[in-house]
Amino acid sequence: MRKGAAAIRYIFLINPAAGKADATADILPRIHAAAARAGVRPVVQVTQYAGHARELAAACAAQAEPAYLYACGGDGTLNEVIQGAAGYDHIAVGCIPCGSGNDYVRNFGTQQDFLDLDAQLAACVLPADLIRTPQGYGIDIYAAGIDAQVANGIAKWRRVPLCGGTTAYSLSILEAVCSTFRHTLRIRAENFAQEGAYMMLAICNAQLYGGGYRAAPCASMDDGLLDVVLLKPVPRLRLPGLLAQYRQGKHLTPQGEVTPAFRPYLTYFRTPYIDIEVLDGTPLMTTLDGECRPQHTLHAEVARRSVRILLPPQLAHNAPVLQAMGE
């Protein structure tokens, strides 16, 4: 048995509704085979309904024994597990991506990196910040405006054959930009206050979302700050070209300065908290790690190092979004 393994519970929470097909039959024998090679005894639980992964994670966290919780599903499954595990020092959360989007894992490596179950059972534990909101925690990005409208429409496009995460996101964008979309907002943050019309905003703890769009190329999950990107309405003919650059993170320089093509439209700053109020009376569509809802007000703040995450060893030692992990 691997050193220290006897004291740790290895719990796999499988969401059969994640992705286009139930991955249980494929992932279950692989879990048991990897566990046998590692000399550990896994516990496997299959979720039965929306919110079940959160309940199972919370029940595990309420016990005194340390545990590694592996969310086997998409970003929504991971989000549920984080809701139940946040704030507990004896719990660490990993992700085995079986969903459609899998944006979280893109911040560190490829989907295949995280499907290596031998590496998962040898994972390193690292501290990470979370986004705390009245709706719960997020680990990736809290977006609003056209971005959230796009996220809300992705499920429809993913049902189309050959439409994976990035393709579905891009098609949903094209659908959204064919309509006029803007909101008048009042924004308050540390050293920032502004009112104006915006079509999109992203409050980022991590770098990537939306099937691989690099919204916050300078973001770290362990720096105590949120990276905020605000986009004013862009002329429709200019939008496709700017979105292509936005997807690659070319709206910001490595030093965090807005690039020339985006300067008329984009504002970027970093803050430990932000409050947003909709002034035009129309609810603003929001998405917290892919979970969508309309709102009239938003609040987000950093929950400093409030979760411990599991990364395969080859990724943990070069994690660009955990730059401060040695503090």
Q: What is the pLDDT of residues 67-104, one digit of tens each?
A: 999 999 999 999 999 999 999 999 999 999 997 778 89
- What dotted CATH number matches 141-304? 2.60.200.40
C-alpha Rg value of the chain to the nearest Å: 20
Nearest to 13, CA basis, from 65, 68, 61, 63: 68
- Residues 6 or more apart whose CB falls under 8 angstroms from that of 144 comprise 200, 201, 202, 203, 276, 284, 285, 286, 287, 295, 298
> What pLDDT, on a 0 to 100 scale, did the predictor assign at position 4?
45
Residues forming CATH 3.40.50.10330 domain(s) in the chain = 5-130+305-316
Tell me if 128 sits within 8 A of 316, measured CB to CB.
no
Residues forming CATH 2.60.200.40 domain(s) in the chain = 141-304
Whether the per-residue pLDDT at 180 is higher than 70: the answer is no
What percent of the chain is modeled with pLDDT above 90?
A: 67
> What pLDDT, on a 0 to 100 scale, did the predictor assign at position 85?
96
> What pLDDT, on a 0 to 100 scale, did the predictor assign at position 132?
97
pTM: 0.88
- What dotted CATH number matches 5-130+305-316? 3.40.50.10330
Whether the per-residue pLDDT at 159 is higher than 70: the answer is no
> What pLDDT, on a 0 to 100 scale, did the predictor assign at position 3?
46
Better-scored residue on pLDDT, 171 or 234: 234
**What pLDDT band is residue 154 in, cutting at 50, 70 and 90?**
low
